[in-house]
Copies of this chain bind each other. A is one copy, B any other.
């Protein structure tokens, strides 16, 4: 299970098995989406499979995730997502009403994200050889001239910004899957981030890195950026916005909010002198109202993420091995 969790085991699989087999530069950059030039157009291209259980949860469902996840992977390169493909693997015996409900959610999420589902496929596997509905989306988007956003561009002196509270998606899935209640209902944060990214780019093209902290949470995203750019990251743990319900759930279950998945958040690395205008632009957008500076990029301890704790100490925030909670997307 760990090989699909977006952590160290996933990275190992990619690095030791897929990269040597496919071997090319675009894939080697290990970004969420590939940046390409085709017919003179600068394109972003990305794909993700969705195997989340259950299919529906507070705040959304597999259909919303399948659209927003791929839209966000494209948006993290600064692209404006335009077209999606959508392929279903259905388990024999799945209610058509369930498939219909998922399809309706895909349509609604696509309209909300301003993308069009233009091509698709449906396969059916024998009962017992699937799990209701698996969805794979791919997407293409257009990258404007002058935009160059990728993990390799993180520089010492960049500040690290998170667009809002973390941990909601993972805890929402956990609460319904395990039948746990944490006082108030926790809803997934699933949302398309194109608008927020474009609002940030409107104030400065000088955004170095964007990443949506999905599988493996903030910890995985920051470790990947540190590794790609050979820089260090210092987090101020108290500055990371953790909703009370997420903190309670994590305390009860022995989870670390830094490792819990998000589906509608981004982290940005921005040069210090642009940080204020970028944060202001984020605060003015509905999905960035609680944006906060949570740390900085440093030359020390390259490829390592360190958190300053509330008690004045520091701790290393490792790349998770797998995922604390499998199949959250």
Contact = CB atoms under 8 A, between A and B. Distances in A.
Most buried by B among A104, A110, A134, A142: A134
B48 A4 contact: no
A interface bracket (residues with beta carbon within 8 Å of B): 35 or more
Q: How many copies does the complex hold?
A: 2
Interface in A1-51: 1-5, 10, 13-14, 17-18, 21-24, 26-27, 33-34, 36, 38-43, 45-51
Given A17-B96, A27-B120, A126 B1 contact: yes
A5 B142 CA distance: 34
A27 B100 contact: no
Contact of A43 (B39, B90, B104): B39
A117 B47 CA distance: 11
Interface of A: 1-5, 10, 13-14, 17-18, 21-24, 26-27, 33-34, 36, 38-43, 45-51, 82-83, 85-90, 92, 96, 99-100, 103-104, 106-107, 110, 116-126, 128-131, 134, 136, 138, 140, 142, 326-327
A47 B116 contact: no
Contacts of A4: 90, 122-125
Contacts of A47: 85-87, 119-121, 136, 138
